[in-house]
Structure 1
């Protein structure tokens, strides 16, 4: 038997719903206005007194029209709705942020400016000062990119000019800048300036000089046939407990040989030279024994 006044027809399992399930359905606004359930024609109908979801949970009607995400942001207070706003990402020290946007174009502009100037300090420094005049902060990122571009183009004189100008402004005093400057001094045959720069680095950053920066200065001294300077740098490395790499060990041993100290040469090779080395053979990395 079916009653025409009821809008929904439910199976027999609905009669076994718990009070907790009914309450959760009411809170979600899923309870119909009025319905009845008949188990069988021979048994009496179990009729539920139907009320609106608003009366069951005291929820405003506007809440029922919100989506699930919007409901999670809604707070109820005496029947009134207060929407909680999501907190955005907090920026710390926004005025100190160094934005890299457009740094590539700035770097290319700097390279174009410096490439068309004569090798005169006053002219070069004046152009560089005008390049940075309208910047609120020193464009360190753009200047570093310009140094890398100049290195790829092998414009060593211009690289030295920009690096010296940066260091004179108190900017870019990093191991990367020092390494590029030492390389430029090496390629531009300006070993005397490299010695002065290295002494400054050694006294300023004694405990923070990396192994590859020691290798850079030893390579420079080896290219310019300065074995005595190589021995001095090697002594500093031993004092600071810095282990040289394979190429640096060979240069140090060659410097001792040039100075007529075969005993020191053997000592260096025995202490720092590795018995095995790795080479690439047929696309694979193979370990082979070092030559005596």
Structure 2
């Protein structure tokens, strides 16, 4: 004999025509179950909105303080004092707000505080901090951070960070340093984007190494590029257009 599968019993009642109707208690349970899911979803939305408000509060706190590391660190410690979990999302949002407002000094202090707590050790945080060092003319500190990144994340350093560091050295007219970073990039097999290729090419040109400049262009320059011709975006071969 085949196996009999048990079916949960649902109480039913009959209407006037004799048709069987499910018990109202069963329907009520289904409705309550759906309502529970919806309530959880709304809770998640409220939590997300709360992190944004905390971020704005953090920005307000550090913006009103003097340019003193210890003072700001103390205020940041108070900001997290009553949190059961470290408010990392709020802190990350605060960094982005400070970045948009070009408040580089405050951004540097908050980011350093985050790292000192063992929090925010991500490529995004590193990228933001390197940019802030660049904008605040702190090349030495950028180099120190970069060396730490290479030491800790040798095989996982992103193209974005390599590009950021090369951009920083280009901004401060340091072609020899550009070549050093590019050498690490090649050794780790990270393919440069077009902006990075252009900066490396110019660095070799400034150093008088035209042969290496040509090799970089031959290896990495895109064969195609887009131009606007008679109001349309047209793809053309790079070498044909340059010729």
With normalisation by structure 1, the TM-score equals 0.67
- 1:288 matched to 2:236? The reply is yes
Higher relative contact order (CA 8 A, sep 6+): 2
How many Å separate the matches in 1 of 2:118 and 2:51?
Answer: 20
Unmatched 5+ stretches in structure 2: 1-11, 38-46
Q: Quote the Cα distance in structure 2 between the aligned partners of 1:143 and 1:256.
A: 40
1:66 alignment counterpart: 23
Which of 183, 194, 200 is residue 252 of structure 1 equivalent to?
Answer: 200
| Cα shift at 1:150 | 0.6
Match status 1:135 vs 2:83 = yes
Q: Which runs of 5+ in 1 are unaligned?
A: 1-26, 34-52, 54-62, 74-82, 90-98
The one-character-per-residue Cα deviations of 1:204-262 (angstroms, maximum 9, x if unpaired) are: 11121111211111000111111121111111111111111111001111111122211
SS at match of 2:226: strand
TM-score, scaled relative to structure 2: 0.80
Q: Which residue of 1 aligns with 2:142?
A: 194
Question: Matched residues in 1 for 2:123 and 2:227: separation?
Answer: 29
CA RMSD of aligned residues (A): 2.8
Structure 2 CA distance for partners of 1:280 and 1:118, relative to 1, 3 Å = farther
5 Å-filtered alignment, 1:140-151, equals 140-151=88-99
Choose between structure 1 and 2: higher helix proportion: 2
Tell me the distance in 1 between the aligned counterparts of 2:77 and 2:161: 29
For 1:215, which of 144, 156, 163 is the aligned residue?
163
Larger radius of gyration: 1
Quick check: 1:161 aligned with 2:116? no
Give the Cα–Cα distance (whole angstroms) in 2 for the partners of residues 210 and 230 of structure 1. Answer: 16
Deviation per residue, 1:53-108 (Å, 9 max, x gap): 9xxxxxxxxx857359639x8xxxxxxxxx9x95976xxxxxxxxx4341111111
**Could you tell me which residue of structure 2 aligns to residue 267 of structure 1?**
215
Aligned length: 218
- When residues 282 and 211 of structure 1 are mapped into structure 2, their CA distance, relative to the original with a 3 A threshold, is farther
